Amino acid sequence: MDRFHIPVLLEGDLLSVTRRVRGVGPRAFLTCGEGQARGFWARGRRWVAHIGVLQETAVLPGDAAGDRFHAVWEALEGVRARLSGEKARLYGGFSFRVDDQLDPVWNAFPPARFILPEAELEGGRSDATAEELLLRVWVAPREGEGPDAARARAETRLDELAQAVESGGGGESGGPRAPEGLSLRTETDRAAWEAGVEGVLEAIAQGAVEKVVLARTLDVTPPFRVDPLEILDQLRWANPMSHVFLFEPDPGACLLGAAPETISTLRKGRFEATAVAGSVPRGETPEEQSFLARQLLGSRKDRAEHRYTVEEMVRRLAGRAHDVEAEEEPHVLTLSRIQHLETRVTARPRSGETVLSLLEELHPTPAVCGLPRDAALVFLREVEPFQRGWYAGPVGWADTEGDGVFVPALRTAVSREGVWRLFAGAGIVDGSDPGLEWEETRIKFQPVLQALAASGAP
């Protein structure tokens, strides 16, 4: 398929033109954007994909890191000033924390990076049939060009893009395929990692921390290039209940994953998030799955770990929102390989709050960091022998009205020069067993590992 490129136009106002297209999925659309910035965000049937860059906002190492959430909001306000009664979204994310220097694997992913895309394709809307998709292109008129001429030019380009997408094929994968070749794997040393867990348990016994989420890595080097869109297809196919995402701000630099929870969702004045902490395997049979779920609900250790996350989220929201409520009892969230305790948290934000300001207050939650937050951050910086980068950082989108959706970059991998680095973590609390926590991280590697294997790179 020929690549479709839209010129980056940074001057003037922004116009949008839309078109309904039938029988087109995100794979065909994203393939048209190969060689450009691309992204994809989905949960269940709802999804949005984007290609190209009209405007980019980034906070680099050494910048005013404390203002990175506000810097993205200022960029959105600048975009809003160029619109005429329309909304626009910036897509991207934030690193877990701000590091002075970046590990090379994270070169394309600074402390914050967001893109205003040239084209968006949205599917699974409740007001459209499954085969009707919304296509959007943002255009900045050239100097001296009137609105009518600019809109006509945008319509012409939209026609060309729609034709390229509709004629390009690129259908979604229907499931795993036979693997080929052999990949090289390098993972965190188990003895060293379990020693880190013991260090956390000692700190807990001394009262220095209550919980620390300790992560480890697994590097996979396939013998050939693996198409990230193929991995994305496999992730979606195998993880329909997760928030599946892909963000490729530079060609070949790709972050993807399947997060089980949301950190900050704001729509029309209503905030929602999910606290997810505590886990057991899914089980090989319905009976085993049900048994393990009951075991999880009755586990003092897992209930305590979960309670830390819920209580801390409610406490932090109290200063920025009214009517902060959490479900009285957690329920079990069953995913493809693992089951978690989950509690829904809702609130009505105070005037002036945005999805980004609420996100700044909540991140990092005890589910991805620990408690107390500052003590856990210090512990992680000293113990983890790698940079987290965007792992466990918030990824998603925010719009010009302050609404948006952000999830933590979990069950995730980042690619650079043919190597895929996977991340997985486990919450260490009083009563944690190092061997069982290692097994939990092994299970959490599985979504991306299986997607890589199904893409031909076992």
264: left (phi over 0), alpha (psi -120 to 50) or beta: beta
Give me the residue label for tokens 């009505």.
348
Two structure tokens written together for 444: 């959490």
C-beta atoms surrounding 78 within 10 Å = 13
Rg value, the chain, Cα: 22
pLDDT of residue 159: 85
User: 94 and 390 in contact (C-beta within 8 Å)?
Assistant: yes
Residue-wise over 160-197: b if at least 16 C-beta within 10 A, else e? ebbebbeebebeebeeeeeeeeebeeebbeeeebbebb
Active site residue 268: no
Give me the catalytic one of 261, 342, 360, 440: 261
Give me the catalytic one of 211, 230, 312, 444: 211
Nearest-angstrom CA–CA distance, 407 and 260: 8
Residue-wise over 272-282: b if at least 16 C-beta within 10 A, else e? ebbbbbbbbeb
Whether the pTM exceeds 0.85: the reply is: yes
Assign 3-class secondary structure to the chain. CCCCCCCCCCCCCCEEEEEEEECCCHHHHHHHCCCCCEEEEEECCEEEEEECCCEEEEECCCCCHHHHHHHHHHHHHHHHCCCCCCCCEEEEEECCCCCCCCCHHHCCCCCEEEEECCEEEEECCCCCCCCEEEEEEEECCCCCCCHHHHHHHHHHHHHHHHHHHHHCCCCCCCCCCCCCCCCEEEECCHHHHHHHHHHHHHHHHCCCCCEEEEEEEEEEECCCCCCHHHHHHHHHHHCCCCEEEEEEEECCEEEEEEECCCCEEEECCEEEEEEEEEEEECCCCHHHHHHHHHHHHCCHHHHHHHHHHHHHHHHHHCCCEEEEEECCCCEEEECCCEEEEEEEEEEEECCCCCHHHHHHHHCCCCCCCEECHHHHHHHHHHHCCCCCCCCCCEEEEEECCCCEEEEECCCEEEEECCEEEEEEEEEECCCCCHHHHHHHHHHHHHHHHHHHHHCCCC
Active site residue 211: yes
pLDDT of residue 133: 57
- Tell me the pLDDT of the chain (458 aa) as tens digits: 334 444 344 456 777 888 877 778 899 899 989 999 999 999 888 899 999 998 899 998 877 556 899 999 999 999 988 887 778 999 999 999 987 678 899 999 999 999 999 889 988 766 555 434 556 666 655 566 677 777 787 888 888 888 888 776 545 544 455 455 667 788 899 999 999 999 999 999 999 999 999 999 999 998 888 999 999 999 999 888 899 999 999 999 999 999 999 999 999 999 999 999 888 888 888 899 899 889 989 988 889 889 999 999 999 999 999 999 999 999 998 888 888 899 999 999 999 999 999 999 999 999 999 999 999 999 999 999 899 999 999 999 999 999 999 999 999 999 988 899 999 999 999 989 999 999 999 999 999 998 988 887 76
pLDDT of residue 2: 36
Torsions phi, psi of 441, nearest 5? -65, -35
Nearest-angstrom CA–CA distance, 167 and 28: 9
pLDDT of residue 66: 62
Of 132, 153, 133, 134, which Cα lies nearest the Cα of 142?
153
Q: How many CA atoms lie less than 13 Å away from 228 in the CB half-sphere?
A: 32
User: 128 and 107 in contact (C-beta within 8 Å)?
Assistant: no
Of 413, 418, 330, which Cα lies nearest the Cα of 367?
330
pLDDT of residue 160: 84
